[in-house]
Copies of this chain bind each other. A is one copy, B any other.
């Protein structure tokens, strides 16, 4: 199936699935195992303990579900809510839209707060809704931490503050798919009730593991939530946690070992250093975009995303053409514009196990493509801007000092 073979490495800059480090690929390069032997539960125990660290929680309970982000969403919702429950949800891009669609199809009463694509969640409207909701009809606030379609990061601390200001008991459900392990994320401090991510994002693993973490309050809610669920039911997991065998159905042995390796790498680098690296690469990307004279789809600095940058192209260019040329000519994989921004933006994913020179190679590629499609770019300008910043800020690799 290598009929699309091109020489050299594929430069994978879609915002997921992202590059898998060799250490993780190696860890997964193995035969199956009996998941009922003593070995798998023993390893699972360490995974469940360690995975809490990426959520920055000590009181949460994590679930490693054989599914994708979409399934993780469903797990978060169906375990905590009942049909007809009112949720407040923010529509700011394709992924928040899909989550809202799921909420509607799961028969929740979704109160949508819409913003222009490129803007963050409108938290003023949230505040007014909470202020008005003295009867506490709002059961959950559902928010995508980082909207992957537009490169917008929402401020979760502010959401919590608003909830607290109004002493509102709504559950706080967060899609951290393109943020956890890359952006600052503090489940306990921000009082998040369910947080979730997928293995193929900043964890830098293959797709296939939805990681959901529930606060004690969310677990309590799950006892009375009436949404129909079986595969995604936390209860089955909790039953097997208590038995010490951990798995209600067969896990992927390979993904367990992969997660072990991925966590080991994150901890070796240091989670704070990982976040700082994403901040550095995000900033470098934005500096390049600015140097090219192009606009970031994200409208204000407060929403800038350190995991994905959506770049607006001039009206006379079809951004899909940029993506297509990257793949056909430079073995470069960029993200398409989706839905409302289709044709208008292309996206550079800069999350996961990635470093400065990889990003700079990508930026150089984008420059050549832009020139190719007729944009009057000064070749090297974006790379120069990014280098000027990175040369000043990139630390020595800790293990090599």
A265 within 8 A of B: yes
Indicate whether A299 reaches chain B with its CB closer than 8 angstroms.
no
Question: Is B67 in contact with A7, judged by CB distance below 8 angstroms?
Answer: no
Q: Are B4 and A19 in contact (CB under 8 A)?
A: no
CA A9 – CA B358 in complex, angstroms? 8
Q: Is the CB–CB distance between B207 and A251 below 8 Å?
A: yes
A97-134 CB mask vs B (1 if < 8 Å, else 0) is: 00001100111000000000000000000000000000
Which chain B positions have C-beta within 8 A of A339?
Answer: none
User: In chain A between 373 and 387, which residues have their CB closer than 8 angstroms to a CB of chain B?
Assistant: 378-381, 383-387
Within 8 A of B (CB), among A313-369: 327-333, 336, 353-362, 364-365, 367-368
A200 contacts B by Cβ under 8 Å? yes
- Which residue of chain B is the closest to A366 with respect to CB atoms? B357
Given A7-B355, A328-B397 in contact, is the A384-B380 Cβ separation under 8 Å?
yes
CB distance from A26 to the nearest CB of B (A): 5
Of A27-35, A53-61, A139-147, A156-164, the one contacting chain B is A27-35
In the complex, whether A277 has a CB less than 8 A from a CB of chain B is yes
For A98, the closest partner residue in chain B by CB is B249
Q: Which residue of chain B lies nearest to A273 when distances are taken between CB atoms in the complex?
A: B7
CB atoms of B249 and A358 under 8 A apart:
no
Contact indicator B353/A357 (Cβ below 8 Å):
no
Kindly state the interface size class of chain A when it binds its partner.
35 or more
Knowing A3-B399, A29-B29, A357-B332 are in contact, say whether A67-B384 is a contact too (CB < 8 A).
Answer: no
- Choose one: B23, B105, B362; the contact of A357 (CB below 8 Å): B362
How close is A27's CB to chain B, nearest CB, in angstroms? 7
Name A8's contact: one of B37, B39, B355, B386 (CB within 8 Å): B355
Judge if A269 is at the interface, Cβ distance under 8 Å: yes
Q: In the bound complex, do residue A1 and residue B105 qualify as a contact, i.e. CB atoms below 8 Å apart?
A: no
Distance, CA A229 to CA B102, complexed state (A): 9
Comparing A69-77, A211-219, A302-310, the segment that makes contact with chain B is A69-77
Near B by CB (< 8 A), chain A positions 1-29 give: 1-12, 14, 16-23, 25-29
Q: Does A254 contact B (CB under 8 A)?
A: yes
Contact A330 B357 (CB under 8 A): yes
Binds B, one of A165-173, A188-196, A388-396: A388-396
* Docked complex Cα distance between A399 and B385 (Å): 34
Q: Which residue of B lies closest to A3 (CB)?
A: B399
Is the Cβ of A66 less than 8 Å from the Cβ of B208? Answer: yes
A71 to B38, CA, bound (A): 25
Asked if A198 lies at the interface with its beta carbon under 8 angstroms from chain B, I say: yes
Report whether A20 and B14 are in contact in the complex, using a CB–CB cutoff of 8 Å: no
| Given known A-B contacts A200-B250, A399-B6, A400-B327, A26 and B27 have beta carbons under 8 A apart | yes
Taking Cβ atoms with an 8 Å cutoff, the residues of A that contact B are 1-12, 14, 16-23, 25-39, 42-43, 66-71, 73-74, 83, 101-102, 105-107, 198, 200, 206-208, 227-233, 248-255, 257, 260, 265, 268-269, 274, 277, 327-333, 336, 353-362, 364-365, 367-368, 371-372, 378-381, 383-388, 390-391, 394-397, 399-401
Q: Which 7 A-B pairs have the closest CB atoms?
A: A380-B384, A8-B355, A361-B361, A17-B32, A360-B364, A34-B333, A357-B361
